[in-house]
A and B are shown apart, each in its own frame.
Chain A
Amino acid sequence: MKMSQEAPQQMPESQDSQAVAQMETMLRQEGRSRVAGNTLAFLKDHAPFNKMTLEARQLFAEKAQIVFYPTGNEIVGPDSGNVRFFYLIESGKVQARQAGEVTVTEYSILSLGAGESFPIGAVTAGRPSTNTYTAVEDTFCYQLPADDFMTLMSSSPEFNLFCTKYIASLLDQSRRQLQLQFAQKASEQQTLNSPLVGIGSRSPISVPPDTPLRKALETMSEASVGSLVIAGEDRKPVGVFTRSDLLDRVVLADLPLTSPVSMAMSADPFRLEEHATAYDAMLAMASQGIRHVLVTDAEGKLTGVVSERDLFALQRVGLRQIRQAIESADNVEALQQSAADVRQLSFNMLAQGVGAEQLTQFISALNDALTRRVIQLNLENHNFDGIEWAWLAFGSEGRDEQTFSTDQDNGIVFASPDSAAVDTLRQRFLAFALDVNNGLDRCGFPLCKGNIMASNPQWCLSLNEWKNQFANWIRMPQTDALLNATIFFDFRPLFGKAELAESMRRHLLEQAASNPMFLRAMARNALDVEPPLGKIRDFLTDLEPDHPGKIDLKKYGSRIFVDVARIYALAAGVHNTNSVQRLRIASQRLSIKSDEINAVLEGLDFIQLLRLQHQYLEGEPGTQGDNLINPDKLNELDRRILKESFRQARKIQTRLRLDYQVN
């Protein structure tokens, strides 16, 4: 009777039918949550899911479908079109095979087991998979639809990090692959990536600082070595004494042989830790003009010495030869050969696995030496005794980011105590600068088409004139001023009085800090060019009407990073000019997450490496390479990573847009 007392009949007809429907919905939800519970039990044992929040795992579990692939079945491959699912192996084994004949990653076949997932790069990029994934055992997978995958990426930082790291490891693989291509061209070369622990002398001769000179010289003579390390009892090096010191500091200085060796040594010698690479030692020698690098353990105790000769053993075109040739060149003709050697050496280093960031710095260091020599040679004809001045490098040279093809961007700053004398002084510097510019041109640094050269009266200024110029650009950020800012604010002193440049820098940072509108204008300017990512196609290749099918990697690639780096550097008061350093330091000061910035820097590094590769491999010998690449000619993985790199460019632009509220 209880049943008949219930009066569902009183409910209106439409509501009646809904009651069962509602019940079905409820019980379906109950079913879904139990299926999800089953999946959750699997997820809690596998990274990265076990580190994700319960909400994120729940999202995965409620959306992931279960599929079965019998042995031998292809799960996803290049022909299956854009990847629709992210796969997580529940049980069984899946083999990843490179499609096509060219292997682009270091593995050609990779075996994946329970808890591993694929194809992360392709599903992130929404493109077909490069690899063919085949079940080599009966395999069950969870498959998460691409949309839900993207939702999970954006809502779970742990999952995002996992995928980003995976893509970064692809970047790394591709870079190594790129290097392999070069290495085949320079096969005799040993690696510059080897740690110092295996190079040079392992048992360097050392004496305590209070050793009398005579005893020190006898020790050198007995061991027939040209140099001695001076180290305390704790084996921490305090100085170096070489044969050349004997002439300058002992014989000519009339120092008695009973004096302690510490009076004649070069104090505070340059040191590197054992795990630093031959490349690091080479860079130090090139940039500091030294011939020995002391090697220490983690506690700073001496364990070895690496000389230029040791590094020469690693290098066919030796650093020593190039530097010596540069420093002893007595005319521009001799420097021309050195310029060619710099190029050859850089190429060898590229082949040996030196990253783009280090390599561009290295090219810059040697080009600096070349430029200094050209300046020195010309100073023989121009006398500026008693005048404080400095030669400035701008643009990519100022940022230590030179690639193989770089034209001149330079200027002069001079101090003038008397404002009436400025113009007279300028005339003298201009005549000198014209000689230097022409000399550099003959050494393979073409004259600047935009006439940004020290021989242009506009860029040969007194310290006060430079400061005023900077202040004007910042106060009135018109189009020209902003363009100039992107070139001239990346300055670096190459020769002469570095303090002048430092004074310019302090002035610049102060001005920028007190004019927020300027940075905003810079930001707006930097956002004018966007990375060439297509909505339908991967890349936009028709942005340059004169070069259909090609992408300008400088204009649409590296410059985006460089522009953003400059703005953040100015905003955060960073003194560095190098974009990587600028981004690293600024991100710390502005509390940008290091994972985020590392991904951005990887992107920049990859684009720079592609530029270097392109300029070397595609450039006609003796001509300037360009930055135009055809993405269709890249291998599949490089295309994918280039796309990811452009995404990073877009990401950092988005950040800039938000930070400066540019719409």
Chain B
Amino acid sequence: MLGLKKFLFKGATPANLPADVRAALEAWRVTPAAALDDIHFHTRYVVVEITSSGFKPESDELLSIAASSVRQSTILPDDAFFVEFSAQKEDAAVDRQLMAFLQFAAKCPMVTYNVPYVGGFLQRAFKERLGVDFEPQWVDLAWLLPAMFSERGTSIMPLDHWIEAFGLDAGNGRRNAMENTLMLARVFQMLLVRAVGKQIDTAAHLLDESRASSFLRRNH
């Protein structure tokens, strides 16, 4: 009964969470966020991409998360993450999967293409399942790329246009979530080099730049 009440009351942490997830969540809440004032080489960035059943974060389903870190400007196979949510999975397992992603991300700055889409789906999932406000420090490549590589493109363009502009191999046909993540990670590696060239040499500085770029574009 107590559990049901808490569930209806929508407390900060859903009462029906398995104990192990609950414990892990509590531990996660008290871990400090990663420092952002260090140089890029010393910062772990988490590049993330998702797949979903549609484009509306508020109503469509999150289907999978693919993530890879860029540490010391390097993509390491040993520091990657992939989860696919299947409809049949029991809820406790889904909760654990989401919790595992929080632990993997470890409050590091996150990188994606089009934050409203990716972040929107993640936010809803974490809110609904774990009662967590998922608000990481986002670097949005969609906005940042035209600001940093103005010689290659000056407007918001689909990712594939950027891949072509950079001369990367887009592959044949549709990329899966991890392929997309790794593509973003490569683009991000290039972006880091460009950023250092512009004296944008810490994560905090890069995040400022990302926010500024999206603000400027949306408002001017």
Q: Are A20 and B96 in contact (CB under 8 A)?
A: yes
Q: Mark contacts of A5-46 with chain B using CB atoms, 8 A cut-off: 1 yes-contact digit, 0 otherwise.
A: 010110101011111110110111011101111110100000
Closest A residue to B24 using CB positions:
A20
Is B204 an interface position by the 8 A CB rule? no
Q: Which of B16, B20, B74 contacts A16 (CB 8 A)?
A: B20
Closest B residue to A63 using CB positions:
B77
State the CA gap A400–B123 with chains docked (Å): 81
Q: What is the distance, in angstroms, from B28's C-beta to the closest C-beta of chain A?
A: 9
Contacts of A24 in B (CB 8 A): 100, 103-104
Q: Which of B19, B179, B190 contacts A70 (CB 8 A)?
A: B190
Contacts of B82 in A (CB 8 A): 27, 30-31, 34
Q: Are B20 and A35 in contact (CB under 8 A)?
A: no
Q: Mark contacts of A181-199 with chain B using CB atoms, 8 A cut-off: 1 yes-contact digit, 0 otherwise.
A: 0000000000000000000
State the CA gap A30–B21 with chains docked (Å): 20
Is A74 an interface position by the 8 A CB rule? no
Query: Which of B18, B83, B169 has most chain A Cβ within 10 Å?
Result: B18
State the CA gap A442–B111 with chains docked (Å): 84
Q: Are B193 and A19 in contact (CB under 8 A)?
A: no
Q: Are A2 and B178 in contact (CB under 8 A)?
A: no
State the CA gap A8–B167 with chains docked (Å): 51
Contacts of A1 in B (CB 8 A): 4
Q: Are A67 and B178 in contact (CB under 8 A)?
A: no
Is B66 an interface position by the 8 A CB rule? yes
Question: Which residues of chain A from 51 to 98 have any CB-CB distance to chain B below 8 Å in the complex?
Answer: 61-68, 70, 91
Q: Are B96 and A32 in contact (CB under 8 A)?
A: no
Q: Are A138 and B178 in contact (CB under 8 A)?
A: no
Is B153 an interface position by the 8 A CB rule? no
Q: Which of A16, A23, A35, A68 contacts B80 (CB 8 A)?
A: A35
Is B13 an interface position by the 8 A CB rule? no
State the CA gap A60–B23 with chains docked (Å): 37
Contacts of A154 in B (CB 8 A): none
State the CA gap A11–B182 with chains docked (Å): 38
Q: Are B74 and A67 in contact (CB under 8 A)?
A: yes
Is B76 an interface position by the 8 A CB rule? yes
Is B205 an interface position by the 8 A CB rule? no
Is B184 an interface position by the 8 A CB rule? no
Q: Which of B18, B76, B81, B168 contacts A27 (CB 8 A)?
A: B81
Is B97 an interface position by the 8 A CB rule? yes
Q: Which of A13, A34, A63, A64 contacts B178 (CB 8 A)?
A: A34
Q: What is the distance, in angstroms, from B19's C-beta to the closest C-beta of chain A?
A: 5
Q: What is the distance, in angstroms, from B111's C-beta to the closest C-beta of chain A?
A: 14
Contacts of B76 in A (CB 8 A): 65
Q: Are A37 and B77 in contact (CB under 8 A)?
A: no
Query: Which of A4, A8, A21, A68 has most chain B Cβ within 10 Å?
Result: A68
Count residues on chain B whose CB falls below 8 Å from chain A CBs.
49
Is B108 an interface position by the 8 A CB rule? no
Q: Are A6 and B80 in contact (CB under 8 A)?
A: no
Query: Which of B66, B75, B79, B166 has most chain A Cβ within 10 Å?
Result: B75
Q: What is the distance, in angstroms, from A5's C-beta to the closest C-beta of chain B?
A: 10
Q: Are B190 and A68 in contact (CB under 8 A)?
A: yes
Q: Which of A4, A31, A61 contacts B67 (CB 8 A)?
A: A31
Q: Are B77 and A27 in contact (CB under 8 A)?
A: no
Q: Are A18 and B68 in contact (CB under 8 A)?
A: no
Question: Which residues of chain A from 636 to 653 have any CB-CB distance to chain B below 8 Å in the complex?
Answer: none
Is B145 an interface position by the 8 A CB rule? no
Contacts of A91 in B (CB 8 A): 167-169
Q: Mark contacts of B165-192 with chain A using CB atoms, 8 A cut-off: 1 yes-contact digit, 0 otherwise.
A: 0111101000010110010011001100
Q: What is the distance, in angstroms, from B165's C-beta to the closest C-beta of chain A?
A: 12
Is A252 an interface position by the 8 A CB rule? no
Q: Which of A3, A34, A61 contacts B16 (CB 8 A)?
A: A3
Is B101 an interface position by the 8 A CB rule? yes
Closest B residue to A137 using CB positions:
B167
Question: Which residues of chain B from 1 to 59 have any CB-CB distance to chain A below 8 Å in the complex?
Answer: 3-4, 16, 18-21, 23-24, 27
- When A16-B23, A20-B24, A38-B178 are in contact, do A140 and B80 touch as well, CB less than 8 Å? no
- When A17-B24, A27-B104, A91-B169 are in contact, do A11 and B19 touch as well, CB less than 8 Å? yes
Contacts of B4 in A (CB 8 A): 1, 4
Question: Which residues of chain B from 72 to 129 have any CB-CB distance to chain A below 8 Å in the complex?
Answer: 73-83, 90-93, 96-97, 99-101, 103-104
Q: Are A70 and B167 in contact (CB under 8 A)?
A: no
Q: Are B80 and A31 in contact (CB under 8 A)?
A: yes
Contacts of A31 in B (CB 8 A): 66-68, 80-82, 178
Contacts of A28 in B (CB 8 A): 78-81, 104
Q: Are A61 and B24 in contact (CB under 8 A)?
A: no
State the CA gap A20–B103 with chains docked (Å): 9
Q: What is the distance, in angstroms, from A80's C-beta to the closest C-beta of chain B?
A: 15
Contacts of A41 in B (CB 8 A): 171
Q: Are A3 and B92 in contact (CB under 8 A)?
A: yes
Contacts of B66 in A (CB 8 A): 31, 34
State the CA gap A64–B77 with chains docked (Å): 7
Q: Which of B67, B92, B100, B178 contacts A8 (CB 8 A)?
A: B92
Q: What is the distance, in angstroms, from A416's C-beta to the closest C-beta of chain B?
A: 78
- When A31-B67, A68-B193, A138-B167 are in contact, do A16 and B19 touch as well, CB less than 8 Å? yes
Contacts of B189 in A (CB 8 A): 66-68, 140
Q: Which of A19, A30, A38 contacts B182 (CB 8 A)?
A: A38
State the CA gap A28–B65 with chains docked (Å): 12
Contacts of B20 in A (CB 8 A): 8, 11, 15-20
State the CA gap A306–B76 with chains docked (Å): 64
Q: What is the distance, in angstroms, from B125's C-beta to the closest C-beta of chain A?
A: 15
Q: What is the distance, in angstroms, from B130's C-beta to the closest C-beta of chain A?
A: 11
Closest A residue to B81 using CB positions:
A31
Q: Which of A4, A9, A23 contacts B96 (CB 8 A)?
A: A23
Q: What is the distance, in angstroms, from B176's C-beta to the closest C-beta of chain A?
A: 8
Q: Are B167 and A61 in contact (CB under 8 A)?
A: no
Contacts of A15 in B (CB 8 A): 20
Closest A residue to B93 using CB positions:
A23
State the CA gap A37–B77 with chains docked (Å): 10
Contacts of B81 in A (CB 8 A): 27-28, 30-31
Residues of chain A having any CB pair with chain B under 8 Å: 1-4, 6, 8-9, 11, 13, 15-21, 23-24, 26-28, 30-32, 34-39, 41, 61-68, 70, 91, 138, 140, 143
Q: Which 4 A-B pairs have the closest CB atoms?
A: A31-B80, A16-B20, A8-B18, A68-B189
* 15 sample A-B contacts, Cβ–Cβ < 8 Å, listed by A number: A2-B91, A8-B18, A8-B92, A16-B19, A16-B23, A28-B80, A30-B82, A31-B81, A34-B176, A38-B179, A41-B171, A62-B77, A66-B185, A68-B189, A140-B168
